[in-house]
Structure 1
Amino acid sequence: MVTTTFLNLNPEKRTKIQEALLTEFSTHPLAEAQVAPIVKGARIARGAFYKYFDDLTDAYRYIYGVAMKDIHTRIDQEVATQTFNPEVYVQQVSSFVDGVMSSHYRQLIEMHLTRNESLVGNNDDSQADRLSSREWAAMILSHEAIKQILINPDRREMVLSRFRDALNLLAGKGNI
């Protein structure tokens, strides 16, 4: 886990380290990433890297978490209103994809989806544990739709259409 020492760095230094992490993890899969380019890009000592992060996986999880917080829009309308509206999910997925496509995190997220996701998994199941079965299914479908669109943007409309159809089935509107 990222240390409080890192979190308490002055914003300028922390930003420089984040940029170095983003560069390394956007251009190299986690399995091939190295500390040397990160410390060189951030202009910090190698020992400082290990003072801030346990290892490369810890640093990767940190910068990926920063990316998700920066561009992620939460689908919380259903929980607040106790309704299941498929169009809310479709709109949120579409907005998220647009946010990624125009973000400086795009390469990092594509690298995550194609090469790193299986290496780091998802450590935060607490939100998913609180969802109903229908909400959980919609969340899984949302993530898969995002992944398919980001990996192959030419299929966006087809993926969104199938996503919408699946959500309508979950809402009890439509046929199998």
Structure 2
Amino acid sequence: MVKATFINLPASKKKIIKQSLVNEFSTYPLAKAQVARIVAQAGIARGAFYKYFTDLNDAYQYMYGIAIKAIHSPVELTSAFEPQQYYQNVADFIEKAQQSSYAGLIKMHILYNENSVGQPFPRELITKLDPQNWSAMVLSHATIRLVMENPEQEKEVMARFKVSLELLKRGTN
């Protein structure tokens, strides 16, 4: 967790450090990110970095948390399966991610980091989602990943996603 010494920094200094973190994590997967590049760009001592964050993973979790809150709208769990809502949520996420100053960080997270940061899957989703909504959620995340990997195929991937959601809907009738 980010340390109080970082939280209490003047806004201008925090902004510089945050931008350095975004630049690093947008350019390199977490496994190849370096404190040395971050501190050089931010113009701070290496020791200062460790006064602000426990380690590189801590700094990554902090920045990713900010990025995802800026982009990802909360999704309400409902018992009714609504294909159009899933489609719209994914389309909105992709658009916001692509237009965000965090676009590179989000892409790196999805393509390289999400399996290595150790965030457990929310238990409530495992227990509360019926198979139809579970399938749509998994398909939604796969669609986002495909678009991030192949942005030139976004239109085709989204069209296939829409058809697949409709197939899921028909599966209960």
User: TM-score category by the smaller chain?
Assistant: 0.7 to 0.9
Q: Distance in 2 between matches of 1:146 and 1:53?
A: 30
What are structure 1's unaligned runs of at least 5 residues? Answer: none
**Selected match of 1:171 from 162, 169, 172:** 169
1:40-69 deviation line (CA, Å, top 9, x unaligned): 222222122112211111111211111111
Q: Distance in 1 between matches of 2:120 and 2:10?
A: 28
Kept in 2, the 8 Å contact 1:3–1:51? The answer is yes
Give the TM-score taking structure 1 as reference length.
0.84
Once the 2 structures are TM-superposed, how far is the Cα of residue 130 of structure 1 from its aligned partner? 5.7
Kept in 2, the 8 Å contact 1:30–1:57? The answer is yes
Kept in 2, the 8 Å contact 1:75–1:89? The answer is no
Question: Is 1:152 the equivalent of 2:160?
Answer: no
Once the 2 structures are TM-superposed, how far is the Cα of residue 90 of structure 1 from its aligned partner? 0.4
Once the 2 structures are TM-superposed, how far is the Cα of residue 121 of structure 1 from its aligned partner? 4.2
Once the 2 structures are TM-superposed, how far is the Cα of residue 149 of structure 1 from its aligned partner? 0.8
My pick for the range that moved more, 36-45 or 17-26, is 36-45
Kept in 2, the 8 Å contact 1:168–1:174? The answer is no
Once the 2 structures are TM-superposed, how far is the Cα of residue 23 of structure 1 from its aligned partner? 0.8
The sequence identity of aligned pairs, in percent, is 45
Relative distance call for 1:130 and 1:150 in structure 2 (3 A) is: same
Query: Helix, strand or coil for the counterpart of 2:116?
Result: helix
Q: Distance in 1 between matches of 2:74 and 2:99?
A: 18
What are structure 2's unaligned runs of at least 5 residues? Answer: none
| Number of residues of Structure 1 aligned to a counterpart in Structure 2 | 172
Once the 2 structures are TM-superposed, how far is the Cα of residue 72 of structure 1 from its aligned partner? 1.1
Counterpart of 1:161? 159
Kept in 2, the 8 Å contact 1:27–1:107? The answer is yes
Relative distance call for 1:145 and 1:36 in structure 2 (3 A) is: same
**Selected match of 1:88 from 81, 85, 90:** 85
Question: Is 1:65 the equivalent of 2:65?
Answer: yes
Counterpart of 1:51? 51
The one-letter code matched in structure 2 to 1:171 is K
Kept in 1, the 8 Å contact 2:146–2:157? The answer is yes
